Structure 1
Amino acid sequence: MPRNNMDVLCLLQEHGAILEGHFVMPSGFHSQTYIQTSLLMQHPHLAQRIAGALSDKFTKKADVIMALTPSDSVLAQEVARARGVRAIFASRADNGEMLLKHNFTIKEGENVLIVDDVAVSGRKINKAIELVGKMGGNVIGVGVIVDRSMGYLPLAVPLRALLSYPMQTFTAKECPLCAAGLPFSKLEETGK
């Protein structure tokens, strides 16, 4: 199947990656739906196809592919493989700012393509854009598997997604799920 014809929604549904319940998102917002793209990215053949399709959305040359978190490093690695460049990932400092660890660097003038699994508010993406700018790099765009935003994201660079899946999010104070007394859903974690 050509990469640009990939049905990401179907893949997410087939792999049980669209969860319903009462979730507190990493951003702190509440939502009735949670999209767990890692259930796709655990399969190398799907990770390669998804990353290739994401890479195809950007024609500008990139020197570095940067994931916003260590958990998205598989996506960055596969996009970097498709483009023949290196991959790095950012981490969050205790104060919420983005930083690079593990001796990762962005050289002055390098073009950086940022990748993320799911975009919701754009706050995390903007922090990454600031980090790249402070290091002297140029962000050429942001590629995401799923854009969950309800429309406009306040970004200074193009954001391109494989799937637009707008979903309403709420602050804890405004959450109708909280008002209805629905308990929080837990994401299953396995381990020994």
Structure 2
Amino acid sequence: MMSNEQVLDVFRETGALLKGHFLLTSGKHSDSYLQCARVMQYPKKGELLCSELASKIEDAIDVVLAPALGGIRAGHEVARALGARSIYAEREHGKFTLRRGFVLQPGERVLIVEDVITTGGSVKEVIKLAQAHGAEVVRAASLVDRSNGTAQLGVPYTSLLVMSVPAYAPEECPMCREGKIDLVKPGSRDLIKQV
């Protein structure tokens, strides 16, 4: 089993641990961001982390379902390690849906996989989607848990790396108050500074 520090080393080696002023999907602001796509661009490193995450899953899994876009590659690698089918949900008109011919059968045992969870909002939406198709969501998993173990998903939850990274409501953000660092939405332009 990899330690938290060993997992963080992989993020550092790949330039995936970033420092700056970030707008998170949840709408909150943070001074740190883990860009899992930077790890996943190295297939062997992505496989290493996802295999490690899969080794923590003891449930029988038929299908790994990931929210697009961040969870797709992690979901695929975890599914490969578990010998399960891999599909993903995409937003259409603001709501997650199954497209591209993906289906869930009633009773299929589903693992939801995301790259990073902060509040768990996307995962909760995908859980409801799977349940609406009659599937049994047995667990959720992520490479990184930014909630420090506080995310409540309504199903058992496993992560590879647990972090306590402050996230602020915009009106409480110390970086906004200081006004020295531009707010960046990751993926929208070059990111600030690697650590």
**Fold match (TM-score > 0.5):** yes
Q: Provide the aligned C-alpha RMSD in A.
A: 1.7
- Extract unaligned runs of 5+ from structure 2: 191-195
2:148–2:162 CA contact under 8 A, matched in 1: no
Shift of 1:79: 1.2
Who is 1:136 aligned against? 134
Give identity over the alignment, percent.
34
Partner of 2:89: 90
Question: Does the C-alpha gap of structure 1 residues 30 and 62 become closer, same or farther in structure 2, counting only changes over 3 Å?
Answer: same
Partners of 1:19 and 1:51 lie apart in 2 by 20
The code of the aligned residue for 1:26 comes to T
Q: 1:44 to 1:64 in 2, by over 3 A?
A: same
CA distance in 1, matches of 2:81, 2:149: 29
Structure 1's unaligned 5+ residue stretches are none
Distance 2:99 2:185 in 1: 30
Q: C-alpha displacement at 1:70, in angstroms? A: 3.3
What CA distance in whole angstroms lies between the structure 1 residues aligned with 2:165 and 2:91?
25
Which fold has the larger relative contact order, with Cα–Cα distance below 8 Å and residues 6 or more apart in sequence? 2
What is the distance in 2 between the residues matched to 1:89 and 1:109? 18
Instruction: Give the conservation status (yes or no) of the 8 Å contact 1:150–1:168.
Output: no
TM-score by length of 1: 0.90
Size of the aligned set, in residue pairs, is 186
Residue in 1 that maps onto 2:193: none
TM superposition shift of 1:93:
2.6
Which residue number corresponds to residue 117 of structure 1?
115
Q: CA deviation at 1:11?
A: 0.7
Amino acid aligned to 2:75: A
Q: Which residue of 1 aligns with 2:45?
A: 46
Answer yes or no: is 1:166 the counterpart of 2:164.
yes
TM-score, length basis structure 2? 0.89
Runs of 4+, deviation exceeding 4 Å: 186-190
Q: CA deviation at 1:72?
A: 2.5
Q: Which moved more, 1:177-186 or 1:57-66?
A: 177-186
